[in-house]
Structure 1
C-alpha cells in the first residue's frame, strides 16, 4: 500500500514547474469524478460534465494529460489492495495532506483515517442487531470532506459481516466541490451506495448531487424515502420540521 501511495505522490509531483501541484490535484479529482459518473449517469448534466472534462483537457499537453488516467488506475489499485486486505483507507485525503495542500486560511485539514475508524467504532451502532429488522443502515455526514467517516462506516459494516454495497446507505454534504468529488470518487471505488451533495449544511442550500452507481441501481433514493416516512409516522409527519437527511433525500 505504501509503495502505491508513494507512486501517486510522485505522479502529482512529476508535472514540473509549469503546473502547481494544487491545480494538478484539483484537475485530477474533477476529471476522475466526471470519468466515473458519466459511465452510468445519463442525466441532464451528462453533456455539461463531458464538456467540462474536455475543457480541463485543453490545459495540458497530451504527454502530461496521459498521466491522469494512469494515476486514476493507480488510485483504483490502491483501493482494490485495501479491500483485499480487509482494511479500508482514505487514500485521497491522505494524499491531499501528504502533498502539502492543507489550507491554513480555511482550516481545511482531513481527519486521519485511523481517527475516523475509531469514531465509527465508538459510535456504538450495533449493525448486526439493526439489520435484523431493517434492510440497511444509513449514515449522514454534513461536512464529508474526502469521505473518511463514510469509508470508516463502510468498513464497520463489513467487519460486522455484511456487504456495504447492499446493506448501507451514505449521504454526505460539503461546501467545497473538491471535497464532494473526492468523497464521491472514493465511495464509488469502494462500492458504497452514496449520495454526495455540493451544498451548505448550515444554510440548507444545495447545488448539485453526485450519486454512486450502487446508490442509483440499488434504488436507495426510494428506499431512504420509505425509511424516513416510516420513521416519521403519519401522526407527526405534518408537524415535524424537515431534517437535513430528509432534505437531502428529496434534493
Structure 2
C-alpha cells in the first residue's frame, strides 16, 4: 500500500465518521463550497474585495450549521487532500481526487447518476487532442496554451491536459491557461479546488452554456500572478480581430459563391425555358394529329 492509498483511506475514514450525524451528500457539497470559498478569499481579499465580502458571508452561514469538531474534520480532509495532490504529482501525475472520492463515497447516484471519466482516459484524450507539436506552436504563437471546456464536470479533462503537458516537458503552471465552466455549481467547486491546488491559472464559471448565462465566476489564485488578466485580454482581443478578419474573408468568399450560383441558376433557368418552348412546340405538333 502506497502513501497515496493511506492518505485516501484517511479522507474516506473522516467522511464515514461524519455520515452518522449528517446527510453525506449535503456534507460533501458543503465541504466543496467552503473549501472553494477559502481558496478564493485568500486572493480576492486583495483583488476583489466586494466578492470577498459576499463569499465570506456565505462561508460563515454554512459554518454555523456545523459544530467545532465537524469543522475541524473538514479542515483535516482538505489538508489530507493537498498532501495527496502533492504525492500524486510526484509519483504518477495529477488525479481527479474529488471526482474519485465522490464515487467511492457512493454519491454518484445523487449527482443524476453521473459517472466521472477515469484519469487515465482523460490523460489519453488530452494527449490525442493536444499533441506536443500543438503545445509548442501555441506557446510560440501566443506564449501559452489556452484550453476551454463549457461542461467541465469535476475538471478531469483539464487535469488530463496538465498531465499531457508535464509529460511533454512543459510547465502547466506557466504555460497553461484554462477557461471552463459547468451548469452544476458543485462541479465548478470541484474543478476550482483542483486547478487551484495544482497552481493552474484559470477562470471557472457556473454557467448555462446553452442559454449563454453566467451565474458566478471563480478565479484561481494563480490567475492573479504573472499578469494573466492583461495577457488574456490581449489574447482575446487578437483572437477577436482574427475572427473578424476571417469572417470578412468568409463573407467575401460567400459573395463570390452567390454570384457563381446566380450564373448557374440563370443558365439552368434559360435552358429550362428553352426546353419548355421545345415541349410546347411538340405539343402543338402532336395536337394536330
Which position in structure 2 is the counterpart of 1:51? 57
Q: Which structure: larger Rg?
A: 2
In 2, Cα distance between equivalents of 1:148 and 1:226: 28
Does residue 139 of structure 2 align to residue 145 of structure 1?
no
Match of 1:245 in 2: none
- What secondary structure sits across from 1:133 in the alignment? helix
Contact kept, 8 Å, 2:152 with 2:181, in 1: the verdict is yes
Aligned to 2:196: 188
Change (3 A) 1:191 1:60: same
Report the more deviating stretch, 98-107 or 137-146: 98-107
Whether contact under 8 Å (2:181, 2:204) holds in the other structure is yes
Q: Deviation at 1:134?
A: 2.8
Of residues 102, 110, 125, the one that matches 2:108 is 102
Structure 1: how far apart are the matches of 2:81 and 2:242? 46
Maintained 8 Å contact 1:11/1:67? yes
Q: Corresponding residue for 1:157?
A: 165
SS of residue paired to 1:207: strand
1:39 aligns with 2:42: yes
Asked if residue 24 in structure 1 is aligned to residue 23 in structure 2, the reply is no
Change (3 A) 1:105 1:23: closer
Within 5 Å, give how 1:1-251 maps onto structure 2: 1-42=4-45, 43=48, 44-103=50-109, 106-125=112-131, 126=133, 127-233=135-241, 236=244
Question: Structure 2: any 5+ residue segments left out of the alignment?
Answer: 249-289
Runs of 4+ residues over 6 Å off in structure 1: none
**CA drift at 1:98:** 0.8
In the superposition, the TM-score normalised over structure 2's length comes to 0.78
Please report how far the alpha carbon of residue 28 of structure 1 lies from its aligned counterpart in structure 2 after TM superposition: 0.8
Please give the alpha-carbon distance, in whole angstroms, between the structure 2 residues aligned to 1:237 and 1:46: 40
What's the offset of the Cα at 1:41?
Answer: 0.9
For residues 166-199 of structure 1, the C-alpha deviation after alignment (integer angstroms, 9 at most, x for no partner) is: 1010011101111101100000000111100000
Q: Over the residues paired in the alignment, what is the CA RMSD in angstroms?
A: 1.9
Are the counterparts in 1 of residues 25 and 107 from structure 2 also a CA contact under 8 Å? yes
- Aligned residue pairs, count: 240
Residues 235 and 4 (structure 1 numbering): CA distance in 2 closer, same or farther, change over 3 Å? closer
User: C-alpha displacement at 1:2, in angstroms?
Assistant: 1.8
| Greater fraction of residues in helix | 2
Please give the secondary structure, in 2, of the residue aligned with 1:17. Answer: coil
- TM-aligned CA deviation for residue 12 of structure 1: 0.9
Q: What CA distance in whole angstroms lies between the structure 2 residues aligned with 1:224 and 1:203?
A: 24
Return the offset for 1:122. Answer: 1.4
Taking a change above 3 Å as real, the CA distance of residues 170 and 199 of structure 1, as seen in their structure-2 partners, is same
